[in-house]
């Protein structure tokens, strides 16, 4: 499907979608429990993959709108009747690998072509070191994966600079092992706030897990049980980033964009608020009320380290293409291992729209002062974040921008284009 975006002013009130990161963890945590309700869940292609996995392990998942009732497998997953299809969801694949490792028998995990090209080797090695079985059928660290044999726990070393999701998978599974798991990091942890999300959610489900001098530790023999049997998912700041960016570059001065559902949490992507402010836009955050108001402004380039906030790279790149001066995105090599290589994807697609961009292995520089964006036919690369960021660029590019693969927003923000249209964007899909 293609989306067509033309220049327009946006304004008014809208609501952030629930957090994808929290929803994944909450659904799986409910699966680890005896029974739990997840409220305000994001229902998207990715989170549905995690729901499928919980069902495959013997849980039941019933959904009424954004309320998900889960009868779990109480810490011990059953053997799936078939392979578990994780779709395009790397988060599902990695978190479920830890869960599958607890099973006495074996689970086969697979996904679409993109997911089958993503690395899982360090997590597979960690499961093996903890007395489980985990291997790639192609022996290249990529799915399909075969996992199981009753991981018992212990101490394991793992690199922290490939994916924080490996750490999350081990922490969530470690709580119900016999021995618990102590994780010693061999390299600096990238995307650290995503592990903070995990620690916060585990605490909300009554599970103890802590940072240590070496890395992380979770005692075994614990049970998952949220207070009063229910957990509510906060708003998603990765998705909020597109709404803030749209308001900053194409907002109506008399009717600013107001985003509801923006309460503080452990999400690292709350950094987008300060980034937009640093570039010159006025952003008011009522933290108690959970409302963000952004006023349009002439932006200036900035320098941002995305070591802890990889999902913000596409948004920052678009802001940089519209701002005056250079915007430098540093420490971004790990962003190449997402649904697509987002560093190259943004460099190439923005260049089609007239942006002057310099790409290096661990840095992306957008020369805003040498850029005049024009509408073009661009490719969303099958990546929801590329699609949404290019749509923001289309709001201010001269002429029409056509984005191929617009349906991929279903991964994290299913009603993104409807939301943008409600705010006044000139957008159609066909």
Q: Map tokens 């945590």 to a residue.
A: 29
338 is in an annotated binding site: yes
Set 269, 308, 311, 326: catalytic member: 311
**H helices then E strands: how many in the chain?**
12, 24
385 is in an annotated binding site: yes
3-class DSSP assignment, residue 18 = strand
164 is in an annotated binding site: yes
DSSP 87-135: TT-HHHHHHHHHHHTTSSSEEEEE--TTGGGS--HHHHHHHHHTT-EEE
Q: Map tokens 């793992």 to a residue.
A: 158
> Active site includes 34?
no
13 is in an annotated binding site: no
d(CA 315, CA 288): 26
21 is in an annotated binding site: yes
Angle between helices 20-32 and 164-174 (to 10 degrees): 20
118 is in an annotated binding site: yes
Angle between helices 384-394 and 237-250 (to 10 degrees): 10
6 is in an annotated binding site: no
d(CA 109, CA 115): 11
3-class DSSP assignment, residue 428 = strand
239 is in an annotated binding site: no
DSSP 195-210: HHHHHHHHHHTT---E
90 is in an annotated binding site: yes
Residue numbers belonging to the annotated binding site: 20-21, 25, 90, 118, 163-165, 191, 311, 338, 342, 385
Residue numbers belonging to the annotated binding site for 3-phosphoshikimate: 20-21, 25, 163-165, 191, 311, 338
Query: Active-site positions?
Result: 311
Residue numbers belonging to the annotated binding site for phosphoenolpyruvate: 20, 90, 118, 165, 342, 385
């Amino acid at each position: 499907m293609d989306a067509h975006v033309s220049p327009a002013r946006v304004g008014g009130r809208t609501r952030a979608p629930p957090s994808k990161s929290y929803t994944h963890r909450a659904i799986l945590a409910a699966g680890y429990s005896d029974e739990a309700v997840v409220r305000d869940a994001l229902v998207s292609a990715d989170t549905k993959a995690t729901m499928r996995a919980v069902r495959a392990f013997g849980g039941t998942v019933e959904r009424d709108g954004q309320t998900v009732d889960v009868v779990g497998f109480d810490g011990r997953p059953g053997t799936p009747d078939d392979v578990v299809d994780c779709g395009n969801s790397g988060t599902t694949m990695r978190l479920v690998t830890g869960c599958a490792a607890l099973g006495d028998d074996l689970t086969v995990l697979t996904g679409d072509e993109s997911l089958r090209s993503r690395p899982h080797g360090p997590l597979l090695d960690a499961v093996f070191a903890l007395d489980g079985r985990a291997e790639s059928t192609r022996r290249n660290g990529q799915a399909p994966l075969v996992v199981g044999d009753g991981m018992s726990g212990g101490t394991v070393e793992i690199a922290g600079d490939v994916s924080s999701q490996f750490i999350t998978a081990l922490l969530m599974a470690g709580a119900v092992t016999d021995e618990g798991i102590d994780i010693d990091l061999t390299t600096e942890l990238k995307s650290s706030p995503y592990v903070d999300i995990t620690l916060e959610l585990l605490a909300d489900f009554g599970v103890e897990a802590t940072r240590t001098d070496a890395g992380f530790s979770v005692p075994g023999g614990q049970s998952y049980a949220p207070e009063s049997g229910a957990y509510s998912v906060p708003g998603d700041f990765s998705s909020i980033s597109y709404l803030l960016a749209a308001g900053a570059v194409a907002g109506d001065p008399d009717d600013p964009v107001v985003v509801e559902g923006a309460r503080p949490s452990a999400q690292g992507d709350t950094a987008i608020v300060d980034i937009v402010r640093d570039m010159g836009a006025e952003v008011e955050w009522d933290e108690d009320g959970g409302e963000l108001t952004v006023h349009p402004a002439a932006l200036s380039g900035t320098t941002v380290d995305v070591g802890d906030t990889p999902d913000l790279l596409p948004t920052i790149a678009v802001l940089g293409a519209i701002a005056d001066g250079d915007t430098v995105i540093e420490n971004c090599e790990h962003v190449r291992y997402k649904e697509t290589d987002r560093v190259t994807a943004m460099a190439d697609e923005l260049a089609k729209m007239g942006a002057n961009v310099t790409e290096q292995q661990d840095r992306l520089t957008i020369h805003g002062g040498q850029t005049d964006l024009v509408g073009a036919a661009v490719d969303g690369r099958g990546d929801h974040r590329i699609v949404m960021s290019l749509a923001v660029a289309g709001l201010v590019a001269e002429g029409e921008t056509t984005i191929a693969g617009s349906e991929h927003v279903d991964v994290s923000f299913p009603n993104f284009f409807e939301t943008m249209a409600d705010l006044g964007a000139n957008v159609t899909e066909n």
